[in-house]
Amino acid sequence: MEGVQLFGNGLSTILTNPQYLLLVVVFVALGILLGALPGISVNLSLILCLPMTYTMDSETAMTVLIACYVGALSGGLISAIALNIPGTTSSIATCFDGHPLARKGEAGRAIGVGILTSTVGGVLSYIMLILVTPLMASIALEFGHWEYFAIGIFCLTMIIDIAGEDVLKGILAALFGMVLACTGNDPINGSVRFNLGFRALDGGVVMTALMCGMFAVPEIMKLAYNRDDESLGRMKVEKFRGYGIGFKDYLAQWKNVLRSTLIGTYVGLLPGIGASSASLLSYTTAKAQSKNKDEFGKGSYEGLIASETANNACMGGAMIPMLALGIPGSSAAAILMNALTLHKVSCGPLVFSQSGDLIYFVFAVCLVSVVVMCVVERLLLNGYLKVLGAPRRILMVVVILMCLVGSYSSRNNVMDVFVFAIGGTIGYFLQKVHISSAPIILGFIIGPIIELNFARAINLSRGHWQDIFSRPITMIFLVVALLAFANSIRKTAKASKERRAAEAAAEKI
């Protein structure tokens, strides 16, 4: 209960101090503006704000950084839905249904629903964290390398499930991403792999460049291929009110929202797994539970709500390993941790006893930022929709420029511009054979989780791989993964049987 009291103190400090409130509004807006630009990552947005915080006191500094972080993470949904280019990796699953909705002329409504559900996911997640942090943290500590490995395998089967009607192509795409992730220094032995003789590839393929390339370049290539297609000229943007969804309709999704919040918050607690896995898990679970499975991937609000709720719920969960264990789960979390260190707050098991006031103040800032984000992003949305209503061909060339710069500036390496160009072209031709970029990118994210944790687990057990059978959580995940994989194969077999029957009927005619 002490935590609740400290949280209440933090909340009243923010709400009664106009300076903090103003900072939250300004930096949430800045974060949204930056996050919505393809190629500008959350990290870059935080780096922009970091130098400003050097001279501030620790509360003000964390207010600025957290507000920008919340805004930038949420801003990613705008480009994911409108342009099919996820602003952040956590928005990849948002593209699956968000962009088909935009193609139907429902971009504004889809973004509105995304904003609303992000807020709900974020708020529920923070409330959950404040109430049950010690319990959740203790469960998270039960997770060792074998469990992380099993989660990786489980996520892999989820990727295959979302890949479409052909399981083999889904596996192929995910494997392609996983092989690409092997490029550069091996995380365990440090051996250089697949650098093709280029020293610039020793650091591997960078995520921003690959993601920008795989999502943005195919879009511009589609415009080049279909130059005469007038329907691609301008995005239709319809008028809508509020957040695009009625209270009753949203309430009807309560199971989906609650489940996605739980998945997001819990996955967020596991260091190194990330919001992209959370939104993917939530999306596939929602698909499995839905009565309208066929709508998923074609513009389903259920799918959009699942992914957006989970990735924002994950944000809260991710604070725990960073603060309580001193393990930053992502590079953005590392920047936040660095800012805390600059202000003499050492993250680790003693953080709650030594700097409890500040930590609960951070939680309060997160909660206020999420609520402010809901209002500010909705206000900015009309402006964005006007920009998105501009001729698509002009818009996309400017987006390509942003992605090109974003790819290069992630580590100032020209090799990333090559990755952007070549990866994007491969992505285009793969889309021609009905392989979307999403399983490749997700394979790229999950591959290292599987390899790193398997290697660590084997090393720790001195080569006794049989230890895996003595881990019940691991076995549960692996069995569920196996069942999910078998289900995917069954669905593919059924779909191809139906297709063959249709083709055979056509041949007879």
Partner 1 sequence: MDDILLKKIKRAKGNIALSIGAILLSLFFFVESNRIKDGAHSVVSSKLFPRIYAGVMLVCALAILVNAIKAYSSVPKEIRDKDKLTKESIAGYGRVLAVFAVLLVTAIVYKPLGFLTVTPFTMFLIFIIIEKPEKRNYPLFLGLSIFCPIVVYFAFYYLFSNLLPMGILKPFLIQFM
Subset of residues 255 to 284 that bind partner 1, contact rule: CB under 8 A = none
Q: Which is nearer to partner 1, 191 or 353 (CB)?
A: 191
Q: For residue 450, state whether it binds partner 1 (rule: CB under 8 A).
A: yes
CA dihedral angle for residue 448, residue 454, residue 460, residue 462, rounded to 10 degrees: -130
Using DSSP, state whether 446 is helix, strand or coil: helix
Give the single-character DSSP code of 377.
H
Stretch that binds partner 1, among 7-15, 218-226, 322-330, 484-492 (CB under 8 A): 218-226
Instruction: Name which position in 458, 468, 478, 484 contacts partner 1 (CB under 8 A).
Output: 458
The phi, psi pair for 41, rounded to 5°, reads: -80, 170
Q: Which is nearer to partner 1, 356 or 418 (CB)?
A: 418
Q: Which is nearer to partner 1, 142 or 498 (CB)?
A: 498
Q: For residue 171, state whether it binds partner 1 (rule: CB under 8 A).
A: yes
Residue 201: name the closest of 180, 217, 178 by CA. 180
Please, what is the minimum distance in Å from the beta carbon of residue 179 to partner 1? 5
Residue 451: name the closest of 265, 89, 191, 170 by CA. 191
Stretch that binds partner 1, among 120-128, 139-147, 179-187, 299-307 (CB under 8 A): 179-187
Stretch that binds partner 1, among 6-14, 305-313, 397-405, 478-486 (CB under 8 A): 397-405
The phi, psi pair for 128, rounded to 5°, reads: -60, -40
Q: For residue 401, state whether it binds partner 1 (rule: CB under 8 A).
A: yes
Instruction: Name which position in 55, 189, 231, 466 contacts partner 1 (CB under 8 A).
Output: 189
Instruction: Name which position in 199, 227, 239, 291 contacts partner 1 (CB under 8 A).
Output: 227
Stretch that binds partner 1, among 68-76, 99-107, 336-344, 408-416 (CB under 8 A): 408-416
Instruction: Name which position in 64, 140, 263, 400 contacts partner 1 (CB under 8 A).
Output: 400
Q: For residue 477, state whether it binds partner 1 (rule: CB under 8 A).
A: no
Residues 6+ apart with CB under 8 A from 410: 41, 43, 44, 206, 207, 208, 209, 416
Q: For residue 331, state whether it binds partner 1 (rule: CB under 8 A).
A: no
Locate all alpha helices (DSSP H) within 410-436, ordered by sequence: 415-432
Alpha-carbon span 473 to 148, nearest angstrom: 10
Alpha-carbon span 304 to 235, nearest angstrom: 20
- Kindly report the CA angle at 368 between 322 and 52, in degrees rounded to 5? 65
Q: For residue 68, state whether it binds partner 1 (rule: CB under 8 A).
A: no
Q: Which is nearer to partner 1, 45 or 312 (CB)?
A: 45
Q: For residue 421, state whether it binds partner 1 (rule: CB under 8 A).
A: yes
491-509: b or e for each residue (b if 16 or more CB lie within 10 Å)?
Answer: ebeeeeeeeeeeeeeeeee
Instruction: Name which position in 99, 109, 145, 169 contacts partner 1 (CB under 8 A).
Output: 169
> Which amino acid would we find at residue 237?
V
Q: At what angle do helices 58-83 and 331-342 cross, to 10 degrees?
A: 160
Which x/- pattern over 36-65 shows residues binding partner 1 (rule: CB under 8 A)? --------x--xx--x--------------
Residue with tokens 């400003």: 52
| Helix (H) or strand (E) segment spanning residue 436 | none
Q: Which is nearer to partner 1, 288 or 460 (CB)?
A: 460
Alpha-carbon span 306 to 256, nearest angstrom: 6
Q: For residue 467, state whether it binds partner 1 (rule: CB under 8 A).
A: no
Stretch that binds partner 1, among 1-9, 224-232, 348-356, 485-493 (CB under 8 A): 224-232
Q: For residue 206, state whether it binds partner 1 (rule: CB under 8 A).
A: no
Q: For residue 420, state whether it binds partner 1 (rule: CB under 8 A).
A: yes
